[in-house]
Amino acid sequence: MQNIVKKHIEDVLEREIVLEKPKDISLGHFATPVAFSLAKELRKNPMMIADELAQKFENSEIFENVSAVKGFVNFKLSNNFLTSQINKALELKEDFAASDAKDEKILLEFVSANPTGPLHIGHARGAIFGDALLKVGRYLGYDITAEYYVNDAGAQMDLLALSLYLAGRENILKKDVEYPEKYYRGDYLVDIARLCAEKYGAEVFEDVSKEQELAQFAKDEVLAMIKSDLSDLGVEFDTFISEKSLYDKWDETKAVLESTGSIYNKDGKDFIRSTDHGDDSDRVVVRENGIPTYLAGDIIYHKHKYDRNYDKYINIWGADHHGYIKRVKAAIEFLGNDSSKLEIILSQMVALLQGGQPYKMSKRAGTVILMSDIVEEIGADSLRFVFLTKKSDTHLEFDIDLLKNNDSSNPVFYINYAHARINQLFKKAELTVEDVKDASIESINQDAQDLVYEALLLGTVLNEAFDKRDMQKITDYLHSLAASVHKFYNEHKIIGLDNQNQYLKVLSMVALSIRTGLKVLGITAKEVM
């Protein structure tokens, strides 16, 4: 809707404008400050210019009123225009606010947690944000591939093998075990050890030389666990890329870096000149023992990404990876690629409370709060919504007990209740949306008109949320729209009035916006509460 209005104004004024939404809707549904930018050019007072511009819209069918207010030109939409927009939306149904396919391919990498244990609550934040970005982007017509980078090489795999070996000796063979200072712990390893014994026999934990077999078995089981937990959260990936499988391409990748003079040897180690691109220091890519570092794996992976020729690459990383940004982007440039095509979004950690106290850690996980435990306790929809109520790069703290409340303190309940309330009104009236879709809304009151306007803004909200990578815009919008529904419901009698069907048509539009907004966040709106 906003794009239609903006284009109409630009056609009339024959210039591009900035279109804003006034905080006070009584001033108009939209406003433009274009008179201020014209004041210098025309050498006139912006208030005089605004008056002159407003007069150009006297015969517009889109606007009921256009006025000049303190230099701004304010636009109030007509009921005829709102009616046409509702009719289009109700005809589109589940495709309302969707966009045509865009000629842009995006590779979106997120989660990419090490396959050494089940996902914890911190991983959940990146998973939910990434999946919401994916769903919103696809709804808006972007061609997006969701990818998980499996870090199945390096020291963490050796440590996983050792941890499984020790868990097997202690719990399967019933041997006394002396654990080292660093190892993975948790009941999940005992479960994997039992599965390992079933497949290979308990004697597998007698032979320390079986390290590679143990590492591979453990990785496969943990990855299956991760995929299952993500599926329970409503998160699916198109591709999984193994770090280990990419190391065969290191010599080829290193040769490209050497050809650009971006690698040098010092003290038996190979360094990449990442300081050339703003890094604090040059970074080691090959150790003295000839083994590539973790950074080398990232370099190979990003070459692999660029070799697949996407238009844009988005990585969602944990906040602890902040220091990797410049070194990875440096490597991308040294490989002859455009690092500006890579966008890195950082996801901050989460503090979880229960009844105002820190949530107890899971014995199954060892020292973390399992994502699966929280999904089981409050449901995937509630977890998804609350994780999207803050920008991903800001700290998030929430109390899971709040998400069990059946009142306005629980935002998920509050929004679903608004949607269910509208459905209940249709049931009381013994009507369907199809029955009221042709009702005229020309005579609706100001409150109903404002409700229609707010519901029709969903498309604008979705585009702004995706462009700014800020899913909070959608959750804020849905909460505000639900508040408007509850206010309208409490202040207006609907069933049995002469204009009952007009009001129901308005509310059917609102329900469609709530349902669609939740859907693109991966949440199913409730029909009944």
- What domains can be seen in the chain, in order of their start residue? 2-77 (3.30.1360.70), 105-152+237-347 (3.40.50.620), 155-232 (no CATH), 406-520 (1.10.730.10)
As a whole number of angstroms, the distance between CA 451 and CA 40 comes to 38
Calculate what percentage of the chain has a pLDDT beyond 70: 99
As a whole number of angstroms, the distance between CA 12 and CA 3 comes to 14
Per-residue pLDDT at 515: 98
Per-residue pLDDT at 365: 58
Return the sign of the alpha-carbon dihedral for residues 475, 476, 482, 485. Answer: negative
Per-residue pLDDT of 380-418, as tens digits, reads 999 999 999 999 999 999 999 999 999 999 999 999 999
Per-residue pLDDT at 209: 83
Per-residue pLDDT at 113: 93
Per-residue pLDDT at 366: 59
Per-residue pLDDT at 441: 86
User: Residue 442 above 90 pLDDT?
Assistant: no
Query: Per-residue confidence at 358, pLDDT binned at 50, 70, 90?
Result: confident
For residue 313, what is the DSSP state?
A: E
Per-residue pLDDT at 526: 96
User: Residue 278 above 80 pLDDT?
Assistant: yes
- For the chain, what is the mean pLDDT? 94
Per-residue pLDDT at 130: 98
Beta bridge partners of 149: 241
Per-residue pLDDT of 288-303, as tens digits, reads 999 999 999 999 999 9
Q: Note whether 124 and 110 are within 8 A (CB).
A: no
Beta bridge partners of 286: 270, 292
Cα separation values, 53 from 48, 62, 69, 478, Å? 9, 16, 12, 34
User: Residue 439 above 80 pLDDT?
Assistant: yes
Per-residue pLDDT of 340-354, as tens digits, reads 999 999 999 899 998
User: Residue 364 above 80 pLDDT?
Assistant: no
Neighbours of 226 (CB within 10 A): 24
DSSP H or E stretch at residue 68: strand 63-69
Helix 458-467 and helix 500-520: axis angle, to 10°?
20
Per-residue pLDDT at 324: 92
As a whole number of angstroms, the distance between CA 172 and CA 177 comes to 12
DSSP H or E stretch at residue 512: helix 500-520
Calculate what percentage of the chain has a pLDDT beyond 90: 85
As a whole number of angstroms, the distance between CA 348 and CA 289 comes to 35
Q: Average pLDDT of 123-135?
A: 97
Best CA proximity match to 302, nearest among 294, 292, 313 = 313
Can you read off the two tokens belonging to residue 356? 């105002």
Beta bridge partners of 68: 73
Per-residue pLDDT of 443-472, as tens digits, reads 888 899 999 999 999 999 999 999 999 999
Phi first, then psi: give them for residue 108, nearest 5 degrees.
Answer: -110, 115
Per-residue pLDDT at 363: 58
Can you read off the two tokens belonging to residue 38? 């014209």
Per-residue pLDDT of 38-56, as tens digits, reads 998 888 999 999 999 999 9
Per-residue pLDDT at 362: 62
